[in-house]
Amino acid sequence: MNIGLLYPGSAMHPSISMEFMDGLKSCLKLNRLQDTIKITAETAGYGGVEKEVKEKVEKLLVVHEADILILYLDQKILTFLKPVLEASGKLIIVVNPGADYPQSWQTQGNIIHLNLNHAFLCWLTGELAVSEPGANAAVATSFYDCGYLHGAMMVNNFTIHGGNIMFNYVNNQAYNNSFHIDELLAYLAGDKLTSKLLCIYDDIPAALFYSSLNNYADADRLQLYVSPMMLEEKAFQIKSGELQFSAEGFMPWQSNINTTSNKLFCDTVLDQSGKAPSIFSLLGWEVALVLQKVIESEINSRNGNGIVQYLLNSDLASPRGEIKLDKQTQHYIAPVIKAQLKGHYLQKNNVAIESIETSWSNFVSNPPQGVVSGWTNTYLCY
C-alpha cells in the first residue's frame, strides 16, 4: 500500500514532523505493518501557500501514485484542495490540531478528519467559564493565536450562556524579554469586578503571559479559562514561582492517562524513538491505527468512499481512549481531559466520550457569525 504524506514545518515547533513520524512509524512497527505500507513524503512547509500545497498534493497522487493521502493541513487551505481530492477518489486523512472551525460541516465521501479538537475544547472551556460565579470576562490572546477560530468558539459559547466580554486584549509582542501585558494589567486594575480571563495562547507565549500575570499585585483574584496549549507543561513551568491564579480548561491527551492503550503508546514511542511521546506523536500513532483498520477491512485501498463507510463503524483504541468517526461530520471525536492548574500542579479528570456528544452537536450547530478571516497556515506551524 502506497501512502502519500504531506508533513508540516514550523519554526516555533520544529519537531512537529519528526514527532508525528515517530508516532506513525512506532505504531506501524508494533503491528508489523512497516513492510506492508510504503510512505512517500513531501513537505507542506507552514501549509499556507495554496499553489505550493496543491502542487505537492498532485505530485503525491499522480507521480507517486499514492493509494491514500495523509495531509497535515488546516481547514482554510483544505477548501482550496477539495476538488482535486474529491476527483482522486482516494481516502484522504486530514490531520491538524483542530484549532479552526470548518467553513462547512458538509461531508465529502472520501475525506476524514483526525485532529486534537482544539476548537471544540475551547468551546467546552467557554461554557465552563460561565458556569462558575461571575458573568464578566476579559479576553487575552496573541495576534497569531487569534488568527484561528478556537478563540472565537470559546467566546461564542461563553456569551451564548449569558457571559459578557468587557475587554479584548491582543498581544503582538515578540516572544522574548520585551513581552509585556501592560494594557491588560491596566484594565484589570481599573475594573475590580472582572476577575475572569478567557485566554488563548500557544505554549511558548503562554509561559510569558503566565509569568507577566504572576507579577500582578492582584493576581490571586483572577480565574483563567485557557486554550489546550496553555495546559501543556512547557507553558506553566515558569521562573517566577508558583502561579498565583487558577487556570482551567480542557486537553485532548496527557501522557499519564492510566489505560492500557496509552501505556502501550508511551512505552513504544519512547522505546522506538528515544523521545517522550507528545501530542504530535499521538496524531501519528492514531493515523497508523486508521491505516491498520484499512488493511483489516480488505477493501480496495483506492476506494476512499468504501473505506470511509467501513471506518464509520470501526472505533479506534487510541491512547486518548476509544475514538470514533462522527457520521454527521466525518471528524473523529474523542474523550477529553478537564484540567485545573494550581501552582505548578495540574489536576486532571477524564471525561468520557458519551458525556460530550451533546456538546459536540451544539458545537457543530453554532458556527462563527459574520465575516470570518484568519491565517491559512496550519496552527502551530509558524
Average pLDDT in the 302-327 region? 97
**pLDDT-based confidence at residue 166 (cuts at 50, 70, 90):** very high
Predicted local distance difference test score (pLDDT) of residue 105:
94
Does residue 112 share a domain with residue 71? yes
Of the listed ranges 148-162, 253-267, 368-382, the least confidently predicted one is: 368-382
Beta partners for residue 5, in sequence order: 41, 70
Asked if 323 contacts 315 with a C-beta cutoff of 8 angstroms, the reply is: yes
pLDDT computed for residue 257 by the predictor: 94
The CA distance from 9 to 317, in Å, is 28
The cell for 89 is 477518489
Average pLDDT value for residue range 14-21: 97
Pair type for strands 136-142 and 164-171: parallel
Euclidean distance between CA atoms 114 and 308, whole angstroms: 13
- Which has the minimum average pLDDT: 16-25, 103-112, 259-268, 336-345? 336-345
pTM of the model as a whole = 0.96
Distances (CA, A) of 59 to 41, 299, 378: 10, 24, 20
What average pLDDT does this structure show over 247-253? Answer: 97
Q: Work out the percent of the chain whose per-residue pLDDT is above 70.
A: 100
Which helix (DSSP H) or strand (DSSP E) does residue 142 occupy? Answer: strand 136-142
Q: Does 233 map to a domain? A: yes
Q: Establish if 300 belongs to a structural domain.
A: yes
More confident residue, 242 or 174: 174
Backbone angles phi, psi at 381, to 5 degrees: -100, 85
Are the C-beta atoms of residues 46 and 305 closer than 8 Å to each other?
no
pLDDT confidence bin for 241, thresholds 50/70/90: confident
Burial class (CB in 10 A: 0-12, 13-18, 19+), 241: exposed
Spatial neighbors of 18 by CB under 8 A, at least 6 apart, are none
**Distance from C-alpha of 243 to C-alpha of 344, rounded to nearest angstrom:** 7
Say whether both 233 and 358 belong to one domain: yes
Mean pLDDT of the chain: 95
Reduced to 3 states (helix: H, G, I; strand: E, B; else coil), residue 34 is: coil
**Separation between Cα atoms, residue 237 and residue 327, nearest integer Å:** 40
Average pLDDT over residues 92-120: 96
- Per the structure, the count of domains in the chain is 2
134 and 219, same structural domain? Answer: yes
Residue type, 328: Q
Residue span of the structural domain in which 75 resides? 2-117+256-333
Read off the pLDDT of each residue in 48-65 and give the average, rounded to a whole number.
95
- Do 223 and 351 lie in one domain? The reply is yes
370 lies in a domain?
A: no
Looking at the fold, whether 156 and 289 belong to one and the same domain comes out as: no
Asked if the model's pLDDT at residue 48 lies above 90, the reply is no
Residue 113 CB neighbours (<10 A): 21
CA-CA-CA-CA dihedral for 153, 158, 161, 167, to nearest 10: -130
- Provide mean pLDDT across the span 197-219: 96
- On whether both 218 and 237 belong to a single domain, the answer is yes
Average pLDDT over residues 50-76: 96
Strand (E) or helix (H) holding 138: strand 136-142
- Same domain membership, residue 271 and residue 213: no
372 lies in a domain? Answer: no
Q: Are residues 155 and 71 in the same domain?
A: no
In a shared domain, residues 137 and 245: yes
Specify the pLDDT at position 34: 95
Same domain, 15 and 144: no
Q: How far is CA 112 from the centre of its chain?
A: 15
Q: In what order do the strands lie in the sheet containing 345-351?
A: 164-171, 136-142, 196-200, 223-226, 243-251, 336-343, 345-351
Q: Where are the alpha helices (DSSP H) in the chain?
A: 16-30, 50-58, 75-88, 118-131, 150-160, 182-190, 203-214, 233-236, 260-273, 279-297, 304-311, 357-364
pLDDT at 238 over 90: no
CB atoms within 10 A of CB 182: 9
pLDDT (mean) for 120-133: 96
Same-domain check for residues 104 and 15: yes
DSSP for 220-256 reads GG-EEEE-GGGGSHHHH--TT-SEEEEEEEEES--TT
Question: Which pLDDT score is estimated for 208?
Answer: 96
Instruction: Give the domain CATH number at 150.
Output: 3.40.50.2300
For residue 36, give the C-alpha cell: 506492508
Q: Could you tell me which of 275, 276, 294, 277 has the C-alpha nearest to residue 285? A: 277
Mean pLDDT of 25-32: 98
Decide: residue 250, CB within 10 A, 0-12 exposed, 13-18 middle, 19+ buried. buried
Mean pLDDT throughout 288-308? 96
For residue 95, pLDDT beyond 90: yes
| pLDDT, position 135 | 93
